[in-house]
């Protein structure tokens, strides 16, 4: 039986003597079964005995005249063997049609069937040969295996980077929160100023109306007295035979009364009083109070509102275009006409890639520190020349920023929530929107140079004062971090959104240097001329602007770089322009900040220029 099946049989179907499948299974009286040949061979060893001993339980079975041949066969076991043989011989036989093989797969019922089953009940179903199914599954297995490997690699990479991505998302959303708070702080400042202005207007109307009422009241009382006095004087003398002198006197009284009646007309005053009564407050449109909206994949979030343009419309600004030949040297005369009344007509081809002064502002004194307050305005401090700080916008508006009781401001930086960080000597202090001290102050290592400041989007303050260090601290607490800059002694600093710091030394030899957050030095650009000063600013796309201005010269050259980690990669060199005023001999009196990617502010002593960048 084992030969027929081609494999070793089950132990329950094997003879205990030969350990193979039963051949002519013969039953003993004890119930155990053996091959007939095995019993015959075993019995030959026991010649002369009339019994056979069971090899398993040792019980004896009495033999008759025919001996082993006379023992009964085990028909049940023989039938079971035959059934198992048939099943093994035809494993894919159809249950309903024994002679047919199940070699067809029904895709609808998802079972294997035979040809007869297909004809009888599966003709309308989609079928497939077993061989084709096996080939298809083989190919699919290979494809799925490859896709699984790729997907598994990506999944592992995602899991590995999930925490970093979470930090990046939280950092980005934190920046969005800061931006929203910044806009809110600016809006609330404007609203407070607007409220103050409107209340002052109402008070002026109230005061003027009160004056008008008092004046009219006094005039009318005087008129009443004149009328009563005239009546008293005219009644007794209005009789016959009046003397000539009396008539003259009456005539004078009449003229006096007539003049009084004419001069005390109240129509004009009443119209002004009526205007005060009719005065109305007309609220701005609701949309003007909206901060803005958040977009994801170009779709506006549920808080879908309209907002005012963040940048002032420069279409109404009187432009002062300044054009220069890119090959001209600083000593060449450039024809520049600064005219606040007339817009110079420049061909578009020349404007392309050029710089244009859109506003020229004369400051009250030499500037020492400057920061971007908004996308169209800056705040400036005057160092030891003047106390307090002022705000100047590209539209020409000027107003006080911090009062003079703050003291001399050497460095200035704008933080979130409308706060401002300023430096006085070697100490930094933070003030609120209304100029009230926020309580935070921090002192750094003394130096012969004064402290200059800048801030990043998270209100971290960066300070330099000519020492080979950069001091970093937060606007809400005074704990500071000191980053060494080696031999570089920066006097001005700006920073990218990722914390990369760009410094410049201002004094000769003027140098712009990039540092990472740990103080590792990257690219460095040094002025080629002994009398050249270099200044740096970072725009909101983390591009670095480097300006060059010669001592006692007025030609400004600007180059824009991108950052590859801490390496400066030159992107655009703009056509040089000639400023309306020459630079003084001290580079520390110049400052540059970026307001938008297309607008920067450059200060030269007591002169401030808003310069438009045209790519």
Instruction: Judge whether 207 and 200 are in contact, CB under 8 Å.
Output: no
Q: What is the mean pLDDT of the chain?
A: 79
Closest C-alpha among 31, 13, 32 to residue 23: 13
pTM of the model as a whole: 0.47
Cβ neighbours of residue 519 closer than 8 Å, sequence gap 6 or more: 470, 483, 484, 485, 486
The answer, yes or no, to whether residue 605 has pLDDT greater than 80, is yes
- The mean pLDDT of 60-76, rounded to a whole number, is 84
User: Helix, strand, or coil here: 461?
Assistant: strand
In this prediction, residue 408 carries a pLDDT of 93
pLDDT, tens digit (0-9, with 9 covering 90-100), for 486-537: 999 999 999 999 999 999 987 778 899 999 999 999 999 998 876 788 999 9
In this prediction, residue 369 carries a pLDDT of 93
Instruction: Judge whether 457 and 465 are in contact, CB under 8 Å.
Output: no
Percentage of the chain exceeding pLDDT 90: 29
In this prediction, residue 559 carries a pLDDT of 93
Kindly give the pairing relationship between strand 577-578 and strand 377-381.
Answer: unpaired
pLDDT, tens digit (0-9, with 9 covering 90-100), for 273-294: 777 777 777 665 554 555 665 6
Question: What is the spatial distance between Cα 135 and Cα 62, in angstroms, rounded to a whole number?
Answer: 62
pLDDT, tens digit (0-9, with 9 covering 90-100), for 209-258: 888 888 888 878 887 887 777 777 666 655 556 666 777 777 777 777 77
In this prediction, residue 349 carries a pLDDT of 34
User: Helix, strand, or coil here: 235?
Assistant: coil
The answer, yes or no, to whether residue 312 has pLDDT greater than 60, is no
Instruction: Judge whether 380 and 603 are in contact, CB under 8 Å.
Output: yes
- The mean pLDDT of 319-335, rounded to a whole number, is 33
Task: Please tell me which residue, 6 or 555, carries the higher pLDDT value.
Answer: 555
Residue 327 banded pLDDT, cuts 50, 70, 90: very low
Please count the helices (runs of H) and the strands (runs of E) in the chain: 8, 35
| Neighbouring-strand partners of residue 357 | 320, 611
What's the sign of the alpha-carbon dihedral 110, 112, 117, 119?
positive
Count CB neighbours of 213 within 10 A.
14
In this prediction, residue 333 carries a pLDDT of 31
The answer, yes or no, to whether residue 45 has pLDDT greater than 80, is no
In this prediction, residue 103 carries a pLDDT of 87
């Amino acid at each position: 039986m084992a030969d027929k099946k081609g494999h070793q049989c089950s132990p329950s179907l094997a003879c205990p003597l030969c350990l193979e499948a039963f051949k002519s299974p013969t039953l003993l009286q004890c119930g155990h079964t053996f091959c007939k040949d095995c019993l015959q061979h075993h019995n030959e060893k026991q010649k002369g005995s009339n019994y056979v001993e069971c090899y398993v339980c040792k019980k004896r079975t009495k033999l008759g005249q025919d001996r082993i041949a006379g023992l009964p066969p085990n028909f049940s076991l023989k039938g079971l063997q035959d059934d198992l043989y048939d099943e093994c011989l035809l494993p894919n036989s159809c249950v309903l049609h024994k002679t047919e093989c199940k070699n067809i797969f029904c895709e609808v019922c998802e079972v294997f069937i035979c040809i007869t089953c297909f004809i009888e009940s599966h003709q309308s179903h989609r079928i497939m040969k077993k061989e084709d199914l096996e080939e298809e599954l083989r190919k699919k297995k290979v494809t799925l295996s490859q896709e699984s490997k790729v997907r598994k690699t990506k999944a592992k990479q995602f899991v590995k980077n999930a925490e970093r991505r979470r930090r990046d998302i939280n950092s980005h959303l934190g920046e969005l929160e800061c931006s929203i708070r910044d806009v809110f702080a600016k809006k609330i400042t404007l609203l407070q100023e607007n409220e103050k202005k409107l209340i002052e207007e109402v008070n002026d109307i109230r005061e003027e109306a009160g004056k008008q009422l008092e004046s009219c009241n006094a005039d009318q009382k005087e008129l009443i007295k004149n009328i009563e006095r005239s009546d008293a004087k005219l009644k007794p003398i209005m009789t016959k035979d009046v003397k000539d002198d009396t008539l003259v006197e009456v005539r004078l009284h009449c003229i006096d009364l007539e003049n009084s009646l004419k001069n005390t007309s109240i129509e004009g005053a009443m119209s002004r009083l009526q205007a005060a009564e009719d005065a109305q407050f007309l609220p701005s449109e609701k949309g003007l109070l909206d901060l803005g909206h958040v977009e994801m994949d170009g779709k506006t979030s549920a808080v879908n509102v309209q907002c005012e343009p963040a940048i002032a419309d420069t279409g109404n600004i009187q432009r002062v275009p300044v054009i220069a030949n890119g090959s001209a040297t600083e000593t060449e005369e450039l024809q520049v006409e600064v005219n606040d009344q007339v817009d110079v007509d420049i061909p578009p081809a020349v404007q392309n890639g050029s710089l244009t002064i859109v506003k020229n502002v004369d400051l009250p004194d030499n500037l020492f520190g400057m920061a971007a307050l908004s996308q169209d305005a800056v705040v400036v401090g005057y160092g030891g020349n003047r106390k307090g700080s002022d705000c100047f916008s590209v539209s020409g508006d000027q107003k006080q920023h911090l009062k003079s009781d703050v003291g001399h401001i050497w460095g200035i930086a704008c933080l979130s929530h409308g706060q401002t960080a300023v430096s006085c000597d070697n100490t930094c202090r933070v003030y609120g929107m209304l100029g009230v001290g926020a309580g935070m102050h921090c002192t750094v290592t003394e130096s012969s140079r004064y402290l200059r400041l800048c801030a990043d989007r998270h209100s971290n303050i960066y300070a330099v004062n000519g020492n080979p260090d950069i001091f970093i601290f937060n606007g809400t607490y005074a704990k500071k971090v000191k980053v060494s800059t080696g031999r570089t002694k920066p006097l001005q600093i700006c920073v990218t959104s990722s914390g990369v710091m760009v410094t410049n030394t201002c004094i000769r030899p003027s140098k712009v240097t990039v540092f990472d957050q740990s103080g590792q030095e990257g690219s460095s650009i040094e002025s080629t001329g002994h009398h050249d000063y270099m200044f740096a600013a970072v725009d909101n796309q983390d591009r670095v602007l480097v300006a060059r201005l010669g001592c006692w010269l007025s030609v400004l050259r600007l180059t824009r770089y991108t950052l590859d980690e801490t390496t400066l990669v030159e992107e655009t060199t703009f056509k040089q322009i000639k400023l309306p005023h020459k630079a003084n001999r001290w580079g520390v009196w110049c400052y540059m900040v970026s307001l938008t990617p297309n607008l920067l502010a450059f200060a030269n002593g007591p002169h401030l220029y808003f310069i438009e960048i045209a790519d």
